[in-house]
Chains A and B, each alone.
Chain A
Amino acid sequence: MSNNNEKVLIKGNYAIAQAAVNAGCQCYFGYPITPQTEIGEYLSGKMQELGRGYVCAESELAAINMVIGAVSTGVKAMTSSSSCAVALMQEALSYACGDELPVVLVNVMRAGPGLGYIYPAQGDYNQSVYGGGNGDYKIIVIAPSTVQECIDYTYKAFYLAHKYRNPVILLADGLLGQMMEPACFGEYPYPEIDNSSWALTGAKGREARAIYSLGPIESKQIERIERIFKKFELITKNETDWEEFQTEDAEIILTAFGSMTRNIKAAMKVLREKGIKAGCFRPITLNPFPHKRIEELASEGKDFVVVEMNMGQMFKDVKYSVNGKSNVELVNRPVGEWLRVEEIVSAVEKIMEKNYAASI
């Protein structure tokens, strides 16, 4: 597989897998689940060929804990899974935050709740951003919208995980995982992080190290949680990422994450052609979330329409950011066929009519 500047036509899942290889991922542990199984299939052969670690784990519980074991030695490691199986990993994510370990988890979302189905959905916004584990913790969440971004943000996921010693979720969906697009791998663009001050390598010439979140001494536990949250303040300052298009003169801003971004960009063009001053705003990091920028745009009186394939999970974060300074509407479908461009356009037109009528 290409590891250079040549453009290749490649499926999202394979792109993520090869990007992990390029990033220097030493171990992959996973359990099959549609629509992300190609990641494990690809890496099973690749990791063996390269003399790196691969285990088809007995469960997702085991898989993510194998990642914890591997990254505790300072190496890069990852697992990948999908929605209902990522639910099984929530305990370990809480541990990984408490233990400050650079776990990388790729979630190629499918529909829920429960078993749901294998078609793409965006119902894991809450599971990723707010988490299902116990205690106070935060995970960095990055949502790609193209196969190229699957590559770029897989690189970034490894870098940020090690830079901040914090778990990172790459939140893709079945659409991205299964689609083919031209993309370019380039080289892993980030510096290597020195893990020698904390990694477990055997107590040779130094004191033994123990990595744990166990906190029978209250003051130490408070100190640890405060340190982790302080760290996340720094992550918020340095790493909050988004993109926006034509927001400058926009009256209404379409907002989406992940592959729905593609459709709002298209819908914006159609709306502009119809004379509606529409813009686009797309959070790239869902955690940290670009609250500040949304608030600024809302302060200028711009309304928001959140378009997502769930019952309004990111919607409430946008509402929180806007904080009553403008209108926020939701255009959504819980699961099934991705909201089509014309559906988004007509929903926005209705919203404009309603808001316009309300203003007279």
Chain B
Amino acid sequence: MQQVFSIPKSIKKDSKYTFCPGCDHGIAIRLLCEVIDELGIQDKSICATSIGCSVFLYDFIDVDCIEAPHGRALAEATGVKRACPDKVVFTYQGDGDFASIGLAESMHAAFRGERVTALMLNNTTYGMTGGQHGPTTMMGQITTTSPTGRNRDYYGYPAKMAEQLALIDGCAYSARVALDSIPHINEAKNAIKKAFQVQLSGIGLGFVEILSTCPTNWKMTPEEAHVRVRTDMVKTFPLGVFKDLSEGGK
């Protein structure tokens, strides 16, 4: 019988799943590790980690990792890359880490055109602290700190990072993907791969915003959460490739 699936080599053998049921971190980490395997870069990759649920990447990924304080992942990634330009350097961050507390580091790494890859999971909330409103919380969304829903007067608008990054000269690839269905998961993997390939070819920073679920804080079943991603979230955060400077890109 032909084997059609196996756990990526870059995932630790003894790792136990620690995310909430229905959380998309599991899929995102698997895709990241599949891409690392396919590009053959496990032994020359260094990850600058983040704070929030994404911090659990340590438990799963079998590549060298350096801890970054909240929001400082792309500053550390810059330091690693400048010290070792031959290494493959990436970050794996949540929306709070990338787009709120780390916004300056994120944008400036792109402005400088650092040859690194940044993945941002957007689940519209601060997951680990129990579901507060954050930079990507959608209009009308109820959270523990927007009890009547996000409105313009109190909270302003959600940050759309994939579009923002696409405007920056030093950013070579920017896409937004989702993990709610098999076609979307396949597209997500292609986008992650592209975001590494632009680093490897030295064009600039590769960025992927990954729409993902937080069933626990959304107070939904995993299935309802994925329906929300494809019916509701994509209206605020349209999927697509916003910039691709790689060969044959748009």
Residues of A within 8 A of B (CB): 26-27, 29, 53-55, 57-59, 61-63, 65-73, 75, 77, 91-92, 95, 99, 200-205, 207-214
> From B78, which residue of chain A is reached at the shortest CB distance?
A66
Q: Which among B44, B49, B67, B112 is the interface contact of A55 at CB below 8 angstroms?
A: B112
- Given A27-B79, A65-B68, 17 more pairs with CB closer than 8 A: A27-B82, A29-B82, A65-B79, A66-B82, A69-B66, A69-B83, A73-B46, A73-B83, A73-B87, A95-B69, A208-B63, A208-B64, A210-B65, A210-B66, A212-B66, A214-B55, A214-B58
Q: A179 to chain B: closest CB distance in Å?
A: 31
CB neighbours of B44 from chain A (8 A): 202, 204
Q: Which among A55, A73, A212 is the interface contact of B78 at CB below 8 angstroms?
A: A55
Contact A202 B64 (CB under 8 A): yes
Q: B222 to chain A: closest CB distance in Å?
A: 25
Q: Which among A53, A65, A208 is the interface contact of B65 at CB below 8 angstroms?
A: A208
Contact B75 A200 (CB under 8 A): no
CB neighbours of A202 from chain B (8 A): 42-46, 63-64, 87-88
Q: A204-B44, A210-B58 are in contact. Are A73 and B80 (CB under 8 A)?
A: yes
Contact B76 A72 (CB under 8 A): yes
Q: A65 to chain B: closest CB distance in Å?
A: 4
* Interface members, chain B 43-81 (any A CB < 8 Å): 43-46, 48-49, 55, 58, 61-69, 72, 75-81
Residues of B within 8 A of A (CB): 12, 42-46, 48-49, 55, 58, 61-69, 72, 75-84, 87-88, 104-105, 108, 112
Q: A58-B104, A62-B105, A202-B45 are in contact. Are A211 and B79 (CB under 8 A)?
A: no
CA distance A96 to B77 in the complex (A): 15
CA distance A200 to B76 in the complex (A): 13
Give the A-B contact count at a CB cut-off of 8 A.
141
Q: B36 to chain A: closest CB distance in Å?
A: 11
Q: A126 to chain B: closest CB distance in Å?
A: 22
CB neighbours of A27 from chain B (8 A): 79, 82-83
CB neighbours of A211 from chain B (8 A): 65-67
CA distance A26 to B81 in the complex (A): 12
Q: B183 to chain A: closest CB distance in Å?
A: 32
Contact B62 A203 (CB under 8 A): yes
Q: A203-B64, A212-B49, A212-B58 are in contact. Are A92 and B83 (CB under 8 A)?
A: no
The 6 closest A-B pairs by CB, nearest first: A69-B79, A69-B76, A53-B82, A212-B67, A66-B79, A65-B75
> From A54, which residue of chain B is reached at the shortest CB distance?
B82
CA distance A204 to B78 in the complex (A): 21
